[in-house]
């Protein structure tokens, strides 16, 4: 098979694609990944061809103006404004640019199938043009975007690209979608055919835990906290002085809250900062250890609690390792993910962000045997899914 993959957004999107690309390449198939400079390093150690050619999502120019106009128009929440503006950009010029770039690449790759980023609608329309299957990677955007709402915008794109318009919203996922969670613990808001595989804990083959982790005290609960890759990336790529897009909290503020909260908790805590300093001159207690980065899936294997932003990668990794979650969401799919975590009994949604309140919720989760039992149930269901290598047979059947 010749497989064309796309990954955009933040490095977490690359990590969602990586197990699929790795399995296909490992089985001897030709895998080409079209991506952005921020995501490309995810694939550096794997036998795939990486083309750094996709357009970035423009979170800078005009975003704040669009947000203010949207707010004045109907008074919707910041989260809804963010999603609305994001959708406008995803099905606008960015999708046309992605389609055109990928169409040029496809003339060389000659793909039999496309595995696309959930935010890459240009790849979706290219698959229609080529008459080949396309499936989106496991991603939060796939879970929360309503295909019915997207249909008018996609049909406008189809008309611009001289493709037949579609009447069915299901045309967005005509061959289904990928996931790494079982149906009973799905985070998807809209039904579709699902090809689900077991979540891997091996992302970066070269990444182990640093030596200092082995010296951490083990007589108290181990709490791991992280803010993900998206917010630190936005802070790096936005021009200096540009505010974060509407609906996003400064990651330094979130880190300040987390460090202050865990300093009040009787635990051993490790906080991955993404290279950002916590706001407010918060001095971590001696039992709170700050580090820029470390192998999250590995540390989660022995953590008693995960304080997370609620990105879909992080949620899946916590389910895979049976780690209860305290979710402090920021933007995009993170808020519905936090709500779903609480709804499923896998942890709690942190709605009060005062450090004392966050510490109290963490204390409650650590003592809650019901949450521990429920996350173990989800872990067992996740472990019962097929190995990701099954993707080879599944795609061969689709192509045939």
pLDDT band with cut points at 50, 70 and 90 for residue 70? very low
239 lies in the same domain as 161: no
Q: Are residues 87 and 171 in the same domain?
A: yes
List pLDDT tens digits, range 19-38: 999 999 999 999 999 999 99
Structural domains in the chain (count): 2
Helix (H) or strand (E) holding 19: helix 11-26
**Which residue reads 């090809």 in tokens?**
195
Of 201 and 108, the one with more pLDDT: 108
The confidence band for 350, taking pLDDT boundaries of 50, 70 and 90, is very high
Residue 277 has what pLDDT? 85
Q: Which of 190-194, 221-225, 301-305 has the lowest mean pLDDT?
A: 190-194
Count of beta carbons in the 10 Å neighbourhood of residue 191 = 10
CA distance 53 to 55: 7
Asked if residue 112 and residue 222 are part of one domain, the reply reads: no
**Residues 181 and 225 both lie in one domain:** no
Do residues 60 and 242 make contact, with C-beta atoms less than 8 angstroms apart? yes
Q: Assess whether 188 and 219 both reside in one domain.
A: no
User: How far from 201 is each of 52, 235, 250, 314, CA to CA, in Å?
Assistant: 26, 27, 29, 11
User: Is residue 224 located within the same domain as residue 271?
Assistant: yes
pLDDT tier at 80 (50, 70, 90 boundaries)? low
Whether residue 284 is contained in a domain is answered as yes
Distances (CA, A) of 382 to 16, 199, 378, 394: 16, 7, 6, 19
Question: What are 273's two structure tokens?
Answer: 């900062």
Residue 367 has pLDDT above 90, yes or no: yes
CA distance 305 to 221: 8
Residues 45 and 56 in one domain: yes
Tell me, yes or no, whether 394 and 374 share the same domain. no
Contact present, 304 and 222 (Cβ < 8 Å): yes
Q: Where are the alpha helices (DSSP H) in 147-274?
A: 147-160, 230-237, 251-263
What pLDDT does residue 83 have?
A: 67
Q: Name the least confident of 38-47, 194-203, 303-312, 314-323.
A: 194-203
pLDDT band per the 50, 70, 90 thresholds, residue 77: low
The verdict on residue 71 lying in a domain is yes
Q: Are residues 160 and 216 in the same domain?
A: no
Task: In whole angstroms, give the CA distance from residue 9 to residue 23.
Answer: 22
Structure confidence at residue 94 (pLDDT): 87
| Calpha distance 260→307 (Å, rounded) | 13
- Is the residue at 206 inside a domain? no
Written as six digits, the tokens of 114 are 């496309």
Q: Pull the structure tokens for residue 94.
A: 């960015």
Confidence band, pLDDT 50/70/90 cuts, at residue 136: very high
Residue at 204 is within a domain: no
Q: Which residue in this structure is represented by tokens 């770039």? A: 101
Q: Note whether 246 and 369 are same-domain residues.
A: yes
Containing structural domain, residue 215: 211-383
Residues 115 and 217 placed together within one structural domain of the fold = no
Residues sharing a CB contact under 8 Å with residue 114, sequence separation 6 or more, in sequence order:
3, 4, 5, 6, 123, 126, 127, 132, 133, 134, 135
Shared domain for 164 and 235, answered yes or no, is no
32-46, 156-170, 200-214: least confidently modelled range = 200-214
The CATH number of the domain where 376 resides is what? Answer: 3.40.50.2000
Q: Is the pLDDT of residue 68 over 80?
A: no
Mean pLDDT of 113-142: 95
Assess if residue 153 is contained within a domain: yes
Q: Does 190 or 248 have the greater pLDDT score?
A: 190
**Would you say residue 95 lies in a domain?**
yes
Q: Is residue 98 part of a domain?
A: yes
Compute how many other C-beta atoms are within 10 angstroms of the C-beta atom of residue 89.
Answer: 17
For residue 353, what pLDDT band results from cuts at 50, 70 and 90? very high
Assess if residue 167 is contained within a domain: yes
CB 27 within 8 A of CB 137: no
Please choose, from the candidates 94, 83, 71, the residue with its C-alpha nearest in 3D space to the C-alpha of residue 145.
83
pLDDT at 63: 45
Q: Is the per-residue pLDDT at 99 higher than 80?
A: yes
Q: Tell me which range, 18-27, 74-83, 241-250, is most confidently predicted by mean pLDDT.
A: 18-27
pTM score of the predicted model: 0.89
pLDDT in the model for residue 271: 97
């Amino acid at each position: 098979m010749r497989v064309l993959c796309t990954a955009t957004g933040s490095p977490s999107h690359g990590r969602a694609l990586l197990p699929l690309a790795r399995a296909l390449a490992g089985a001897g198939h030709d895998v080409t990944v079209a991506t952005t400079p921020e995501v490309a390093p995810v694939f550096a150690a794997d036998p795939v061809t990486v083309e750094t050619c996709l357009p970035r999502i423009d979170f800078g120019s005009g975003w704040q103006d669009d947000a203010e106009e949207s707010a004045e128009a109907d008074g919707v929440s910041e989260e809804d404004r963010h999603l609305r503006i994001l959708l406008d950009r995803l099905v606008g010029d960015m999708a046309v640019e992605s389609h055109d770039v990928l169409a040029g690449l496809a003339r060389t790759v000659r793909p039999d199938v496309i595995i696309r980023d959930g935010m890459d609608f240009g790849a979706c329309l290219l698959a229609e043009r080529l008459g080949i299957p396309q499936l989106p990677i496991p991603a939060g955007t796939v879970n929360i975007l309503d295909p019915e709402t997207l249909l008018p915008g996609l049909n406008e794109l189809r008309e611009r690209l001289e493709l037949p318009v579609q009447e069915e919203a299901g045309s967005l996922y005509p061959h289904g979608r990928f996931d790494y969670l079982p149906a009973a613990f799905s985070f998807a808001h809209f039904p579709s055919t699902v090809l689900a595989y077991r979540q891997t804990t091996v992302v970066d083959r070269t990444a182990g835990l640093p030596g200092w982790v082995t010296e951490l005290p083990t007589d108290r609960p181990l709490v791991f906290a992280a803010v993900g890759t998206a917010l630190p990336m936005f802070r790096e790529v936005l021009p200096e002085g540009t505010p974060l897009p509407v609906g996003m909290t400064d990651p330094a503020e979130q880190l300040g809250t987390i460090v202050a909260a865990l300093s009040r908790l009787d635990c051993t805590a490790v906080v991955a900062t993404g290279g950002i300093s916590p706001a407010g001159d918060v001095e971590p207690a001696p039992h709170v250890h700050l580090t820029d980065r470390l192998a999250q899936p590995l540390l989660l294997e022995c953590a008693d609690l995960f304080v997370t932003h609620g990105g879909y990668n992080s949620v899946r990794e916590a389910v895979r390792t049976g780690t209860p979650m305290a979710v402090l969401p920021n933007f995009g799919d993170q808020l519905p993910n936090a709500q779903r975590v609480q709804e499923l009994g896998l942890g709690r949604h942190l709605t009060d962000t005062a450090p004392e309140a966050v510490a109290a919720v963490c204390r409650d989760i650590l003592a809650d045997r019901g949450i521990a039992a429920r996350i173990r149930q989800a872990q067992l269901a996740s472990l019962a899914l097929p190995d990701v290598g099954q993707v080879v047979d599944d795609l061969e059947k689709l192509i045939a």
